[in-house]
Amino acid sequence: MPLTFRTAVQCIGSTLAVVLALVGSLLPPARGATIEQDLCRWGPDPRARLLLSLGPAQLTSDQAVILRGRVSVRVGADGDSVEGRFSPGGGLTLAEAARRLGVVRFNWLQQITSLPASWQVTCDPSGLPLGLPLFDPIPSASRHYRITNGRDGSSLEIVTCAAPGQPDCPDEAIPFFADGAELQRHTDSRSLRFRDRPGVPRSFLPPGARMGFTTRLVGIRPDGTLVTWQQLGTNIRWSTDRALDDDRGRIRELEPF
């Protein structure tokens, strides 16, 4: 779902998550576990969602084949969008791949990882200052992000669709990139796709500045915990300087990891 920024007096919604390290014996089966707490929506809340990050050493060779190098990504024909696809290795369907990896389904987990230094992000209506990374998209009926430009004090809301009332607006599948009919449109029996085309008004973006993102393939386990994978090429770093009011912006730094 495209992320756009819109000058606003009243906002339609969003959410944030802060990633905190989890230590000790809480999760003995997996190293690199984190807890994502949705501070923008709830404040420091015990209803945390576990996110496990697994490397090749924590997978069988057959599981690694399913994932290694199986996320492809490209710049869209318009030059300012990102298009990606996960197609499981070993000739498996998505359902077969999910079963062998111990998950019930796949989705994408996307975060905003860098913004211009002059921008300050807050959670409205509380005004709580927020740091990076921020989950994208960020829907909520009662909370949203606001970005204030420190150069002139102007502000934007972050929205996840062009206008309220459109399909998939707001996206209620926090923290996933796609939900509902949107997820169905991007899924077939053998692949899961994504496309994003974020942008801001050119006047709001400082000269030479870019917005950075990380998009990760994620599996949802039967108990609701999430798992991502490292060192297998299932994650993508990228950035953009697209403006909503001109065609000069471009996607750069497409980097699988």
166, pLDDT greater than 80: no
For residues 195 and 81, the answer to whether their CB atoms sit within 8 Å is: yes
Which comes out higher in pLDDT, residue 39 or 209? 209
pLDDT of 156 reads 86
pLDDT of 175 reads 66
As a whole number, mean pLDDT of residues 79-96 equals 96
Residues paired with 239 in a beta bridge: 212, 252
At 95, which amino acid appears? A
pTM of the full structure:
0.80
At 82, which amino acid appears? V
Q: Report pLDDT digits (tens) over 12-63.
A: 222 222 222 222 222 333 444 454 545 565 444 434 456 789 999 999 999 9
Residues paired with 114 in a beta bridge: 212
For residues 206 and 30, the answer to whether their CB atoms sit within 8 Å is: no
Residues paired with 204 in a beta bridge: none
pLDDT of 237 reads 95
- Token pair of 153 as six digits: 């004090």
Nearest to 214 by CA among 238, 232, 197: 238
- How far apart CA 51 and CA 63 sit, in angstroms, is 19
First to last CA, the chain: 22
For residues 198 and 177, the answer to whether their CB atoms sit within 8 Å is: no
Query: Residue 21 burial by CB count (10 A; 0-12/13-18/19+): exposed, middle or buried?
Result: exposed
As a whole number, mean pLDDT of residues 8-12 equals 26
